[in-house]
Amino acid sequence: MKSTAETPALGEIVRSFASIEVDDYQRTYEWEKESIQELFDDLKATRQTGQPHFFGTLIFETKKDDVGSLVDGQQRLTTVFCLVAAIRDKLVELEITELPAKTSGRRPTKVLDKALDFLHPGDNLDEFRFRSSSLLRETLASMVFVDPKSPKRSKIKLREAPATLKLRKGVTYIRELLEGHLKDVPVDSRGEELNELLDTLLDQFRVLYIASSNLNESLDIFLTLNNRGTPLGRSDIVRGMVMKNIGLGEPESKLAEIHQTVLGEWMEIIEQVRDPETFMRHFLVSTTRSKVTKKKIVDEVSGRIRATNHDEAREKAQEFWDSLNEAATTYSEIVEGTVHKDIDTDLRLLNGLLKSHRIILLAVFRHEMSASEKRYLFELVEALSYRWIASGGNAQILENTFQEWAMDLHEGYSVASVVEKMEAKLGAQDFDVQSFLNNEGDTSYVVRALLYKLEMRLAKGANPVPTSKIHLEHIAPATSTPDWIEKLVPDRRKEAEYQIVNSSAGNLTLLDYKLNTSIKQAPFAAKSEEYQKATLLITRDIGKNFDDWSEQLINKRAEWLSECMNSIWNIKSKKTPLREFSAWLGSK
């Protein structure tokens, strides 16, 4: 990696590259008038003060000694190149190539050459230093960078591909700003003013320059430093790689169509999956046995679509892209909890616990198997997830396990063999469930989910979806009162002792929001009366069948919840009938 402790001039950094490229994974030009105006105002202010102006960070992936791929700074640098081109156009229009020396014995200032040296790496005026993404390249070349007197020069088109609209508007606005600025300058001084603007832009605008020959390293730096707009992610690079490979060997006339299609499909993917970075990694993990960290996403995809010729490259890239699009639909259903009505509520609950379950569920819901097999596989994934988290298992090991099962399905292993592995893994999750419920009751999401699951099982058809209208309620209140301390720990009467008993899962239930706010620290008699009005069965059961609340009842209820958890989140052969707490207690 190469970086500068100082802040070199913008012109120095730009001229150090024969070619500055913007890969297709980058966003298209996005700047509106406000951003362009701000840059132009900075230019004018710096021109007046003569003091250096910090332009920002430019991060490059260096492909060769004199070729740099721009990782961060695309919007700003595109605007600067368009501004220098506009200054060059005005110099040509005014027929100014050089300015006379201000004092005798000095050379004249070759002002036009300054602009040309910035725009072109050599003497060939048809070769441009800045190569934007393929969507914008032709527009910039024919309407902006080419010499204004060349027969190849085109006017800014009112109608063109939508992807170039903001660029065309931006170029038009840059020219308007420059024209407006020069109106206040006497005609015979405009050459000097254009020269001063160029010098200011190229010599007084300073940059923090970072370059690396490794794309992932450049991207890591960018993601760390960038806090403007929508940050560029690894999934954007993957999109660009696919776009590039699908278009290999295709004529220019077809490239725009290909890129527009891929971009449109990518926007649909983003809308579906919400978090494209997580989706991309989960998709890759679910379809390989290799370990895929965030940093390895680009390398993994690059390896999958690597080819020896254009035909093979297009085929591999299209196959990968089609599979990704198909997976996005399934992933969206998993994230939204809309896979099937029989499991959707359970799936929404599970989504609140972790994300790695999506890896195996991507494989399950995309695999050809019966509906009953899919449901049971989901139940095993659900059970293992909750028990794994409750037992304090390592999250990475759980992800690795899900990846193994996903690849088993992907590679054609029988569903029965995968079920056997899942049941064995779940059966090995042996830990003290009641100890977990007592010690982590009011801090673990697992307990909240368990209470919802119980309500759905005991009050079939009710299916309470977790919402802000249902709260996790401490029966003995979380904030103690002297009366509640006396009731719960009469032999110890200490706040610390009260909180130990109070935080057990046995002291938790689910309650309608309005009821919850009205009885938070009320005596149990008042709570019991309100509990009888609750919409949830597990809470009505407490109100109808208990006249008092004590440490002994809390411990018994934790024991009941432990048995329920072992029944709900287990293999089929170990599930036992569930009963309401009062009925369970009466049988003891």
Q: Tell me: pLDDT of 17 over 70.
A: yes
Least confident piece of the model among 209-218, 256-265, 299-308, 378-387: 209-218
At residue 228, the pLDDT reads 40
> Is the pTM of the predicted complex or chain greater than 0.85?
no
Q: Are residues 308 and 200 in the same domain?
A: no
**Domain final residue, candidates 207, 225, 243:** 225
Q: Are residues 29 and 137 in the same domain?
A: yes
Does 418 fall in a domain? Answer: no
User: Please, are residues 157 and 143 in contact by the beta-carbon 8 Å criterion?
Assistant: yes
Does 174 fall in a domain? Answer: yes
pLDDT class of 224 with cuts at 50, 70, 90: low
At residue 515, the pLDDT reads 66
At residue 462, the pLDDT reads 60
Residue 255: give the domain boundaries: 233-336
Does 417 fall in a domain? Answer: no
Q: Are residues 326 and 343 in the same domain?
A: no
Average pLDDT of 93-122?
A: 90
Task: Please state the domain count of the chain.
Answer: 4
Does 207 fall in a domain? Answer: yes
Q: Are residues 75 and 204 in the same domain?
A: yes
Instruction: Give pairs for 425-431: CB < 8 Å, separation 24+.
Output: 425/384, 425/401, 426/380, 426/383, 426/384, 426/387, 426/570, 426/571, 427/571, 429/384, 429/387, 429/388, 429/391, 429/393, 431/387, 431/390, 431/391
Q: Are residues 135 and 95 in the same domain?
A: yes
Average pLDDT of 178-185?
A: 94
Does 416 fall in a domain? Answer: no
d(CA 233, CA 221): 12
Q: Are residues 50 and 188 in the same domain?
A: yes
Q: Tell me: pLDDT of 336 over 60.
A: yes
Q: Are residues 363 and 245 in the same domain?
A: no
Q: Are residues 323 and 348 in the same domain?
A: no
Q: Tell me: pLDDT of 235 over 90.
A: no
Average pLDDT of 70-86?
A: 94
Q: Are residues 255 and 218 in the same domain?
A: no
**Domain final residue, candidates 336, 362, 395:** 336
Does 423 fall in a domain? Answer: no
Q: Are residues 291 and 398 in the same domain?
A: no
Q: What is the pLDDT of residues 521-576, one digit of tens each?
A: 889 999 999 999 888 999 999 999 999 999 999 999 999 999 999 999 999 888 89
**Domain final residue, candidates 306, 336, 366:** 336
DSSP state letter for 107: P
Does 421 fall in a domain? Answer: no
Does 415 fall in a domain? Answer: no
Q: Are residues 390 and 273 in the same domain?
A: no
Q: Are residues 87 and 208 in the same domain?
A: yes
- Token look-up 């295709």 returns 250
Q: What is the pLDDT of residues 464-508, one digit of tens each?
A: 555 667 888 899 998 899 999 999 999 988 888 999 999 999 999
Q: What percent of the chain has pLDDT over 70?
A: 94
